[in-house]
Structure 1
Amino acid sequence: MTSLKTGDLRHRVLLENRTVTPDPLGGEIVTWVPVATLKGDGKVWGNVRFQSGMEVLRSDAIVATRKASIQILFRSDLLPTARATYDGHVYDIKNALPDPDTGRDYLFLACESGGNDG
């Protein structure tokens, strides 16, 4: 997709950055912080496309995985450990690829669910 139309962004996607803080016993506390949005809810408009789904064996258990591509307007505040939630499924963002024309109009988020730490 080389151009983005407003009507293409028809799905509400929650974007969150992972933050880690030390706890008093020397461990870590992981929290998920919504990205900054006008409404303050961390939700952005996106175009969600499912690429594949399968079951894999992880830690002696069968886990269903799902791969998706989520196209959103460009933003620079997503951390490498960010995640996206859509339709009740949490997706690890594996890569955020800029648009091929300007590099600053929109992002393609390569995502995968199943076996994540969300």
Structure 2
Amino acid sequence: MRAGQRSALVEIQRNVPVRDESGQPISAWQTIGNPVWADVRHRSGMEALRGDTAVSVVQVSVRIPYPVLAEVAADTSMRLLCDGDVYEIQAVLPDRQKRRHADLVCQQIPARAE
């Protein structure tokens, strides 16, 4: 993957258990590794009903350099941050033949209405 194809800076995060001020266990997202330049491509978009509310569902493919995948060991329990948007990683598709990149199939997590 040429450097010119990497157009977005992304962070991969894992859910980790932490304790709040009162000592109760809660979960929080922790960035693993360093932010990395990736090729982010929006594949599809649709509208769905969730909790009697219409929300947009955006699916993207994020291509990251293979060494980054080996460093962070991304899996479907993690999420990805890109330009202020949060994406749930649904599948990890490594290029096992040439080991140059990995594609992360992601779905945007809609922002919650306050």
TM-score normalised by the shorter chain: which range applies?
0.7 to 0.9
Question: Which residue does 2:77 correspond to in 1?
Answer: 81
Say which structure is richer in helix.
Answer: 2
Measured after TM superposition, the shift of residue 114 of structure 1 is: 3.1
AA in 2 matched with 1:7: G
% identical aligned pairs: 29
Measured after TM superposition, the shift of residue 10 of structure 1 is: 2.1
Say which structure is richer in strand.
Answer: 2
Relative to the length of structure 1, the TM-score reads 0.77
Q: Contact 2:87/2:108 (CA < 8 Å) preserved in 1?
A: yes
Give the superposed CA RMSD: 2.2
- Paired residue secondary structure (2:4): helix
Measured after TM superposition, the shift of residue 93 of structure 1 is: 0.5
Determine which of 103, 108, 112 is the counterpart of 1:108.
Answer: 103
Q: Runs of 5+ in structure 2 lacking a partner?
A: none
Q: Contact 1:49/1:69 (CA < 8 Å) preserved in 2?
A: yes
- Paired residue secondary structure (1:35): strand
- Paired residue secondary structure (2:33): coil
